[in-house]
Amino acid sequence: MKNLIISILSTCLFALIISCNTKQEVKEQKQEADYEQLVPGEQAPLSNPNQNSFGRMRNVGTQKWKSRPGARLQRLDPEVRTVSLDELSMSDPFIFTDKKTNTYYLTSTGGNLYKSKDLKMWEGPHSIIDLTGTWMDSLWVAAAEIHHFNDKYYLAGTWSDHTTLIEAVPRRYNVPMNQTQLLVANSVEGPYKPLVQEYDFCLGPKDWDIIDGTLYEENDTVYLVFVHEWTQIIDGTMDYFPLSEDLTHRTAEPKTMFRASEAAWSKEMNSIGEATFGMKMPGWVTDGPQMFRTQTGKLGMLWSSWGENRYAQGIAYSESGSIKGPWVQEEEAFKGDNSGHGMLFKTFEGKTLFIIHHAEERGPRKPQIYEVDDSGDKLILGERYHP
């Protein structure tokens, strides 16, 4: 009898192993079917020696998603310390004002968190993101920002997987996987985990190069407003789609708000001698949207591109007062001195401030805060703010 029981258990265990292996093979076959292996193509001409260039040359591979996690490097958490805002270097700064804790929270590209009581001294960086079990695990996050809806905190960020090629644009660019995703937490300090736990989930179309997504609510609907990268489509666009009530998926396909070339201050990259990733890639850039309303109710969008003095901050306004537009561009940049990716926030005293990153020539990007006047139909830039 004992031998019979052992035999039955062994048979069941063997069947279970076979079943699991079969399910894994089906999953891997589905992934391979969903992401056809593309061959990298010839890219745009290389930049000239000492030419201005954003970023270094990138090699986009064709490894499958199932092989990516093993190739990731684990990053060590940096030492937490308290520093002044002037001591920080970062791209794409974003400040969330949390009334529950009476604390300002600063995020940026890199995804770490700094916190402050006075906007002057900042404690950090704190690690707040947990992406275990997803394709984003151990990948770098860009343009991280925090939003609060229905007693939950949401982190919108862009993750880039350069082992996955979504399109090879001939004599231009091998387009990698870029997606803005949403993470959720019960506390503003995290940990933030994926809102959808499926390994290969993407909030936007998987064949789109999507970056810099931000959340905006209008008439009880939350929208993801994002950049469709110019590197893929030449003339970058701002787009949006509505989200389900629980923010887990889009309920309609993306719609375009405007193109970068519609703004007179936005310049074609080659025309101003600006290379990208070490290549002379022609086109017009869209970057860093944030929706806002002035005190009169005028709906606007902060967004960035490249202008006569390199990086530049601009503004567009909606004539209808709705996300649906039409959107009209300001003739001149709001701030055009190699500054950009600016965001508005409120102090605990109700004052509207504007944080932006700025670089001197080829130096590091540094966060700066400015006063703004939002009492009328248009934003007016004020003086540098020193807390």
Q: 191-210 burial string, b = 16+ CB within 10 Å, else e?
A: ebbbbbeebebbbbbeebbb
Q: 106-145 burial string, b = 16+ CB within 10 Å, else e?
A: bbbbbbbbbbbeebeebebbebbbebeebbbbebebbbbb
- SS3 of 81, please? strand
Dihedral pair phi/psi, residue 162, rounded to 5°: -85, 5
Q: Exposure of 169 by Cβ count < 10 A (0-12 exposed, 13-18 middle, 19+ buried)?
A: middle
Nearest Cα residue to 250 out of 268, 224, 232, 274: 224
Where is 362: in which H helix or E strand?
A: none
CB 241 within 8 A of CB 223: yes
Output the pLDDT for position 75: 59
Reported as a single tens digit per residue, the pLDDT across 64-92 is 433 344 344 455 677 999 999 999 999 99
Reported as a single tens digit per residue, the pLDDT across 220-232 is 999 999 999 999 9
Nearest Cα residue to 93 out of 294, 379, 353, 387: 353
Structure-block tokens of residue 212: 């810099």
The rounded distance, in Å, linking the Cα atoms of 91 and 289 is 14
Output the pLDDT for position 35: 52
- Amino acid letter, 17: I
Output the pLDDT for position 3: 53
Reported as a single tens digit per residue, the pLDDT across 268-321 is 999 999 999 999 999 999 999 999 999 999 999 999 999 999 999 999 999 999
Structure-block tokens of residue 131: 């992406």
Q: What predicted TM-score, i.e. pTM, was given to this entire model?
A: 0.89
CB atoms within 10 A of CB 290: 22
Q: What percent of the chain has pLDDT above 90?
A: 82
- DSSP secondary structure string for all residues of 157-226: EEEEEEEEEEEEETTBEEEEEEEEEEEEESSTT--BEESS--TT--SS-TTS-EEEEEEEEETTEEEEEE
> Is the pLDDT assigned to residue 96 strictly greater than 60?
yes
> Is the pLDDT assigned to residue 161 strictly greater than 50?
yes
Nearest Cα residue to 315 out of 288, 280, 355: 288
Reported as a single tens digit per residue, the pLDDT across 204-258 is 999 999 999 999 999 999 999 999 999 999 999 999 999 999 999 999 999 999 9
Mean pLDDT of the chain: 90
Half-sphere exposure of residue 251: CA atoms within 13 angstroms, side-chain side: 10
The rounded distance, in Å, linking the Cα atoms of 86 and 131 is 31
Domains of the chain: 58-384 (2.115.10.20)
> Is the pLDDT assigned to residue 22 strictly greater than 50?
no
